[in-house]
Amino acid sequence: MREYIFVFNLDAIVQDKSGEKNCGILEFINDNAQRCYFKRDCIDKNREKTVVAIGNSESDIAMMEKADIRIGYGGIKEVMPEILSTVDYAIYEEKKLVEFLERLLQEEKMTLSRTVIISCAGMGNRLGLGTTKALLEVDGKTLIVRHLEQLQEEKDVRIVVGYQASSMIEAVLKCRSDVTFVFNHEYQNTGTGASVALAAKYANEYVLSLDGDLIVHPEDMKKILACQGEFVGGVVTESDDPWMLQTYIQEGTEYVRAFEKNNGNYEWNGVAQVKSERLRDGSGHVFQLIEPHLPIPFMLLRTREIDTQNDYEVAQKWVKNGFC
C-alpha cells in the first residue's frame, strides 16, 4: 500500500490572487498534518514513501527532482517555465488541487467514476502546419475548445501536453481552469498510448480517452457521456490512413474483437472508455493498450479525425454543414 507525503512551497499555496487565504489547501494540510511538509530536506528522510511535491518557481526544481509526483500549482502565481519542463501535472485552481491530493489518499468517495483524458502532446507532423493539432481552428473554434465545451459537466478532465505545451495551457485556461494538465516529456519518442498511460495514473474507475485531433458529433458525445461501461468507438471509414476495427455480434450486442491496419468493419477513431487499470502501462498506440482486453462492446460514432490536409478540409466542411 502506498503511503504519501506532501511537500509544499508555502509561497505557492497560502494566498490566492485576491489576497484571501486558500482555505481548502490549508484545511487539507491541517487534516493531514503528519503527512505535510514545507522543506525539501524532509524528502531524504522519507524515501520509503511516495513524495508529492507542489510548487511553482525555479527554486522548487531541486524539490521536484527528488519527488515521485511533481505538481506545478498556478492558483496564485504563474508557474515558471523552468518548472513546467520538470512537472508531471499543472493545476490552476485550488479546488482541483485539493481534489487531486485527496484522490491520492483515497479519502474522498468519488461521485463520478470517470476520468476524461484528451491526448494533445503530439507534433502533428503529417498535417504539416507547425502546430499541435488540438489548436487548429474549425469554423472559428479550436479543436480543444470544442472538446471542452462538450465536457462541461465532467469533473475530472485531464489534458496531456507535450509539443507547444505552454500554448496549449494558455488556450485551455481561457476556456476552463479546473482541468489537470499531464506532461508527456517524451512526446517525440512515444505515441498516444504513453500519454494515456501517464494520465490514467490516479484516475477514477473508468477512463474516457479522446484524441485532441478529433471532432465528435454533439449528439454522439451525449451518447458517449451517458455510457456507464466499457466501449470502443468507431466510424464508417472517413480518414486517409485508418486503423480498422473487426467486430462481431453476439446476442444482439456488437463487440470489437481486433484492430487491423487494412481490414475491418469500421474505422477506429481513438474514442474508448475502459477501466483505468487497463491503461496504466504502455508507450505505443492507445489501441495497443486496449487490445489485450478485447472483446469490448462497440459504439458507432460520427466523428472526424484530422491527420492530413485532406482530413482537415473534410472536417471543416462537415462542421460548417451542421455535422452532415
7 and 38 Cβ atoms separated by less than 8 Å: yes
pLDDT band at 260 (very low <50, low <70, confident <90, very high): very high
Tell me what the mean pLDDT of segment 317-323 comes to.
95
- Above 60 in pLDDT, residue 1? no
**Measured between alpha carbons, how far is 179 from 162 in angstroms, rounded to an integer?**
16
pLDDT of residue 18: 55
Residue type, 235: V
Q: With both helix axes pointing from N to C terminus, report the angle between 23-31 and 94-105 in degrees, rounded to the nearest 10.
A: 20
pLDDT of residue 211: 96
Look over the chain and give the mean of its residue pLDDT values, rounded to a whole number: 89
Say if CB 109 and CB 56 are below 8 A apart.
no
Q: In whole angstroms, what is the distance from residue 302 CA to residue 269 CA? A: 9
What does the longest C-alpha to C-alpha distance in the chain come to?
Answer: 62
Closest CA to 203 of 158, 235, 241: 158
pLDDT at 197 over 70: yes
Quick one: pLDDT at residue 50? 87
Per-residue pLDDT at 111: 47
Q: What pLDDT, in 10s, does the model give residues 21-76? A: 667 888 898 888 888 988 777 777 777 788 999 999 988 999 999 999 999 999 88
Upper half-sphere CA count for residue 92 (Cβ side, 13 Å)? 19
- Rounded CA-CA distance 97/87 in Å is 14
* Each residue's pLDDT tens digit, 225-256: 988 889 999 999 766 678 999 999 998 889 99
Condensed to tens digits (0 to 9), the pLDDT of residues 109-129 reads 344 589 999 999 998 777 667
What are the tens digits of pLDDT across the range 75-112? 888 899 999 999 999 999 999 999 999 988 864 334 45
pLDDT one-digit tens code per residue, 116-175: 999 999 987 776 677 889 999 999 999 999 999 999 999 999 999 999 999 999 999 999
pLDDT given for residue 124 in this prediction: 75
Indicate the Cα dihedral angle 125, 130, 135, 140, nearest 10°. -120
> Quick one: CA torsion of 24, 28, 29, 34, rounded to 10 degrees?
170
| C-alpha cell, 6 | 506532501
Q: Which three cell numbers stand for residue 50?
A: 511516495
pLDDT above 80: residue 184: yes
> In this predicted model, which residue has the larger pLDDT, 237 or 180?
180
